[in-house]
Structure 1
Amino acid sequence: MKRFKFYFTYAWRSVLRGGQRSFFAILCVAVGVAALVALQVLGSSIQDTLTGDTKAQAGGDIVLRIANSRGTNTNTNRVFTTDDQDRLNKFKSDGVITEWSPLIVQSTIRLRNYFSFPPTLYAVDPATYPLYGNFEIIEPKGKNLRELIGQPGTVVVSKNLWEKLGLKLGQDLEASGSNGQNIKLKVVGESNIVLPGVIFGPGQFFGFMITSIPTSASMYDAADNLPSQVFVKTSSDKVLDSAKQTLTSGTRFRGDTAYEIQSQLTKGISITQDFLSYIGLLSLLVGGIGVINTMLVVIGRRTTEIATVKALGLKTRQTLFIFTLEALFLGIMGSLLGVILGELLGLGIKGVAEGFFARPLVWSLYPGPIIIGMLVGVITSGVFGFLPSYAAARVRPAVVLRAQSTMVPRIGGIPGFIILLLMTLALGIIAGVLIKNLVLGVIIAFITLLLMAVLVGVLWLIILLFGLLPTPRNPAIKMAVRSFSRNRGRTATTVMVMVVGLFFISFITFVADSVKSSIREAFDIQLGYNTIGFTGLLAGGNTPEITANNIASLKQIQGMQKVFPSNFASVRLEAINGSTPSGGRITITLDGRAYINGESTGNTATQKIAAGRNLTPEDADQNVILLYKNTADALGLKTGDKLTVRPQSTTGQTSQTTELEVVGIAEEFTSFVNFEDSYVVPYNVVAKLGTPFTLYYMLIDRPFKQAALQNAQAIVPTVLDLDDLIDTFNRLLDQILAFPLILSLLSLFSGAILVANNVALAVLERRTEIGVLKAVGAKRRRVMSILLWESGLVGFLGGLIGIGAGILLALGVNTFSSPSDGRGASAITFTWSPGVAALLMLLSIGLALVATLISAWGAVQEKPLVVLRYE
């Protein structure tokens, strides 16, 4: 017992004597554990949010939809007709189910003076909805949905749409649906964006309104006001499967139980949790590297001490045990600190993830991640501490006492390799436990080891070559470069961590900027319009006469510069030159191109023609067609060929065919925005064939835009402000990319901690060197400048490689993008911003310098006499 007390006392005092170096080793472990705990907590939070209350999330015991039926395109194929609803009432009266609640989803509602992405309108029966759970009403407090929308003409608005419109209780919204009737909806409440039975939908991102079915019926035709899904309640879980079987046998219904829906969600969530756990383990790997570096330096400084205690009788296995115990103490303290930091970090990541998942996340103090963080942190520290502990155990008393050496003995190739494999195996087992697959965890661990070894090896070579480059005559820079390349293995590991973080940060930033700039450029420059209106899905009509009247009225609006119509129609390609196509009859989409005063929409003026000619204003009423080259090649078409098409019928009646002559073959567009697909015909041809709606492209002077949008909405049922749509898209893109960006920043921060740890160790190793420098007249600022230059090189090299790799990958995406989109080029051109790259480079160097100042400030203050006396 006394022996174990000695082991624990000696190891604990060694940790305390370590001072700053022990602190940074603890901090390295803490950062890794914090990342693991935060991501584990986030994974648990996501799972509880999406699968917590199973039946409330699903909307009922069973969720019914209409099974797909081939051979028809009618609306009744996808909704519950009155006959279907009568059948559900029959099931209820027979006792198969106890209650059912319909959900109608309307995506074509129009709000007066609202020009952004259309909100979703959910129509429910407030007497039965929701069957399970609560629909949270934010304002007025204490009210429920049944009380608020029981009266006709009332609506509850989601929080995101409420804030966008700046609504108040009692305010009236003028809205219309497919029947063209404008009605006033009274805003009676603000709700949470979480809707029972709707796990993910556009309403969660762009906003929604919820009202009663009678209110919805006042805006939509009867055929359009039918439920697309039905929530069913049974008497108990015991009859769940039999009820589902009864409901779906011999009917058009397709059903999923709440538990089946939960199982599907859990499979998707488990992938997310495994990914988050892997990221957390990578961060913990950085902590293990810090433990190795710290203990190797400590052992190097204490070889005389180790040799002395071994000469007094301490055996090799006892030395191994003591130093492994010291690593475990570092792991315990680092894990405790990491758990606290992880919970705090998790709160910050939670806010980012809520934007990513478009819903508030459940949050609580989960014991699982805390226990896992403690165990994994301690075990990882012990595993990584075993390698330097083995080095300490190999210290030979006689050799060290005779030579007074402070060099760590070499472990040897075979033992070191075996220890490395065992360490990787242990980490693989830990990863396997976290992802619930031991074999996969071990495979991932060894693949990660291989990739890290290759990357560290390349960086080691780069650092070696960097040290051979000619340096300026400044003594501080010369000494910094020499010190930079002195411990190449440790420096390469630190640079690797910073490279990984900066690579992902730069690539994510470049992608976000490229997508935003491509969309902005496409709409502002290539498309040439800033507003789109359309008719057809809502009331308005699509005949050429109505379209001409609409265009004439739109042109009268102050600030309106251009207006162009466009349309499309789905048809069946019946024959080519009188013969059935070799691949059989196929459905194609004809895009209508209009000409007004000799001009057409978009970028058709710059379109390159490979064969024949382009469409002209004289073709307005001619049965001619322009093909894109990839389509023409695929079908073996050339100019002069005849295509026979038949409009798609929704009534089952046979429609008349139309013959179109190929007059031209065009090169594919390279523009991001191109509303024409592979088959282009004159606008009037599509209008005669029948079109679901007509698009109006409008260019409005920005000073008159708001008033012009309001006036245009009085003519065209739906008007969309492209500037607002772009801003909305950019906001969603920022929310989506913020999550991986946070994960990348964790890696970069871990690299900064490693820099601080390495500087502290370098100062410890070079105490004699620093003491001599100060003894011969070097000032504190000169010594600090050497350390700052050295760390600045680490930050510079990490930034140069990481950001450079991000730039190369972004540019490589352009190079290897295939013309599979049918337009001959990638839809988005990825570019990089020199300004953003410079800022990221400054961030990398700045973190390294700040870490150096924090870790080395106290060391450079030490008096040279004190150093030289004890060294």
Structure 2
Amino acid sequence: MASLSGTLILSRSISVLIYTSLSEPLGGNLIIVPLLPLTQGLVQSRLNELPGVSGYSDVAVATGRLIAINGNTQYLQELDKNSSVATELYLDQLNVITGVRTVGEQPSGTLMDGRLLGPEDAGQYHLVIPNHPVLETLGVRVGSTLTYFIGDVIREFTVIGIVQPGPNAGLVPLGLGEGSVQAPIEVVPQELPFSLTVASVTPASVPAVSQALRAIPGVVVLDVTAFDSIINRVLRQIAALPLLIAGLSLFAASMLIATTVSLSTMERRRQIGVLKAIGLKRRQALAQLLVENGLIGFLGGLLGLVPTMVVVQLIPIVTEEIVRLPLPLDLVLLMLLLSTGITLVTTLLTGWAATGEKPIQALHYE
């Protein structure tokens, strides 16, 4: 049971983690690349018309160098020399500015302080940055200034908002969505020869929206869910052998549970006979057996899940909170139901005959 639950739960967790770690940092599940400058307007008008599109963002990415915080060029001296890997990744993340212009509703994280970018910020040197504990050490808050060397010039940006990204947004350090440093697209130099548009589309509408956008000449559409299907296929192939072994282990465990419950029930024939002799009815005796063995099966299922739970909890500690595996509660519930169900069915099959005997026969047998 432990091997089966561990294989199934970890496979699902890794699959969900990879998908969300792609979609959350990118800020959507559909990436549109208009290779021809004239097609950008066609893409925007098509996205405004198509059903299932909740919002989209035009994106420009520029790599700069953070040279000062609140005028302090020695800000790195404020940090502990033994800073964590997560802190180092966050500091690298601050050197990449994502210019955005958002239409409609896009993932924006949880606003911790200040406000999000809006139309009134167009052309302004304003920033919205992801939250991190190191910000307090660096003295960064709403109203702070971050000075960048970007586009061969020095620019001073003002922090207008701090957001808490989703739990998986930080797994890909250089994202385009809520886990990135965002500024109005007009003030970010375009380093790519083409622009990017990231759209949030309902899963059911992704095929139709992708087909409509690909009909525009010179437009490339990348579907994040396609990566997810490839990853799932690879994970299924990798997990095939462990699942086979786990399935055989489950079969052996089921036989062991059935044998143990059967022997336990048969050994209690005398007890059942005494209870029936003092007036206990058959259904009451059977109900008692079902409750006792069902509880044992449930606790056994919990014990089988303990190794998997330990692994899921240890991964954030080992990776210094960079990777957090989501826990598929449906599979956890399925494993508990499977363990309890096997025990109850076995108890019912063996207990029905044991509780059906007359007290005199059960006592005489003993």
Do the structures match in fold with TM over 0.5? yes
Aligned to 1:567: 60
Distance 1:742-1:697 versus aligned 2 partners, 3 A rule: same
Report deviation, 1:625. 2.8
Aligned to 2:83: none
Distance 1:699-1:665 versus aligned 2 partners, 3 A rule: closer
Report deviation, 1:821. 5.5
Distance 1:728-1:808 versus aligned 2 partners, 3 A rule: same
Aligned to 1:594: 101
Aligned to 1:118: none
1:761-776 correspondence runs (5 A): 769=270
Aligned to 1:832: 329
SS at match of 1:564: strand
SS at match of 1:712: helix
Aligned to 2:82: none
SS at match of 1:594: strand
Q: Which has the higher helix share?
A: 1
1:568 and 1:692 in contact (8 A); partners too: no
Aligned to 1:754: 256
Distance 1:552 1:791 in 2: 63
| Residue identity matched to 2:197 | Y
Question: In angstroms, what is the RMSD of aligned CA positions?
Answer: 5.5
Distance 1:737-1:791 versus aligned 2 partners, 3 A rule: farther
Distance 1:506 1:805 in 2: 7
Report Cα offsets for 1:149-178 as digits up to 9, x if no partner.
xxxxxxxxxxxxxxxxxxxxxxxxxxxxxx
1:609 and 1:666 in contact (8 A); partners too: yes
| Residue identity matched to 1:603 | P
1:627-776 correspondence runs (5 A): 627-630=129-132, 632-633=135-136, 635-638=138-141, 639-646=143-150, 656-673=152-169, 675-686=177-188, 688-691=189-192, 694-699=195-200, 706-715=207-216, 717-736=219-238, 739-758=241-260, 769=270
2:13 and 2:328 in contact (8 A); partners too: yes
| Residue identity matched to 1:532 | I
1:614 and 1:663 in contact (8 A); partners too: no
Report deviation, 1:829. 4.6
| Residue identity matched to 2:341 | L
Distance 1:623-1:726 versus aligned 2 partners, 3 A rule: same
Report deviation, 1:664. 2.7
Q: How many residues align?
A: 336
2:24 and 2:168 in contact (8 A); partners too: no
1:530 and 1:722 in contact (8 A); partners too: yes
Distance 1:838 1:504 in 2: 14
605, 614, 621: which one aligns with 2:123:
621
SS at match of 2:177: coil
| Residue identity matched to 1:610 | D
1:591 and 1:679 in contact (8 A); partners too: yes
Aligned to 2:87: none
Distance 2:343 2:260 in 1: 15
1:608 aligns with 2:111: yes
1:569 and 1:692 in contact (8 A); partners too: no
2:293 and 2:347 in contact (8 A); partners too: no
793, 807, 828: which one aligns with 2:292:
793
2:31 and 2:221 in contact (8 A); partners too: yes
SS at match of 2:329: coil
SS at match of 1:663: strand
1:514 and 1:830 in contact (8 A); partners too: yes
Distance 1:763 1:641 in 2: 74
| Residue identity matched to 1:664 | I
Report deviation, 1:646. 4.0
Distance 1:749 1:643 in 2: 63
Report deviation, 1:645. 1.9
SS at match of 2:61: strand
- Unaligned 5+ runs, structure 1: 1-500, 648-655
SS at match of 2:346: helix
SS at match of 1:659: strand
Aligned to 1:579: 73
Distance 1:659-1:718 versus aligned 2 partners, 3 A rule: same
Distance 1:531-1:840 versus aligned 2 partners, 3 A rule: same
551, 562, 566: which one aligns with 2:43:
551
SS at match of 1:608: strand
Distance 2:264 2:23 in 1: 55
User: Which one has the largest radius of gyration?
Assistant: 1
Distance 1:608-1:553 versus aligned 2 partners, 3 A rule: closer
Report Cα offsets for 1:249-287 as digits up to 9, x if no partner.
xxxxxxxxxxxxxxxxxxxxxxxxxxxxxxxxxxxxxxx
Distance 1:844-1:504 versus aligned 2 partners, 3 A rule: farther
Report deviation, 1:805. 7.0
Distance 2:66 2:25 in 1: 31
- Unaligned 5+ runs, structure 2: 80-90, 170-175
Report deviation, 1:595. 3.4
Identity in percent: 21
1:752 and 1:848 in contact (8 A); partners too: no
1:378-457 correspondence runs (5 A): none
Aligned to 1:531: 30
Report deviation, 1:666. 0.4
| Residue identity matched to 2:43 | I
Distance 1:756 1:614 in 2: 60
Report deviation, 1:827. 5.5
Provide the TM-score with structure 1 as the length reference.
0.31
SS at match of 2:327: coil
Distance 1:840 1:760 in 2: 18
Report deviation, 1:696. 1.7
Distance 1:610-1:739 versus aligned 2 partners, 3 A rule: farther
| Residue identity matched to 1:662 | T
| Residue identity matched to 1:595 | T
Report Cα offsets for 1:214-240 as digits up to 9, x if no partner.
xxxxxxxxxxxxxxxxxxxxxxxxxxx
Distance 1:762 1:787 in 2: 13
Report deviation, 1:634. 5.2
1:591 and 1:677 in contact (8 A); partners too: no
Distance 1:700 1:765 in 2: 61
Report deviation, 1:849. 3.7
1:849-860 correspondence runs (5 A): 849=347, 852=350
Q: Which has the higher strand share?
A: 2
